Amino acid sequence: MTTLTRQAVTRILGPVDHTLAAELVATGASEGELAEAYAWVVDDEALINDLRPLPKGRTAHLVDLLQPRFGPVGSED
């Protein structure tokens, strides 16, 4: 398990502000956990359709941090 670095955050997410990058690194999550969280944020329907279990632990925390920046805009009715 490779712990997140600023470089890994940029490689997985693209350019992000320093505050978000620091918050993500501070979680102690791995690169794999960040990649999984990002996948949930940008297309949770595909993962649900694949019957993937909902994120928990550090991955769920990463989802919470990523949602405001990368999640869908507006509400779904």
Whether this prediction's pTM lies above 0.85 is answered by no
pLDDT digits (tens, 9 = 90+) for 9-68: 999 999 999 999 999 999 999 999 999 999 988 886 766 666 777 888 999 999 999 999
pLDDT of residue 50: 67
pLDDT of residue 77: 41
Task: At 75, give phi and psi (nearest 5°).
Answer: -110, 150
Q: How confident is the model at residue 75 (pLDDT cuts 50, 70, 90)?
A: very low
pLDDT of residue 54: 80
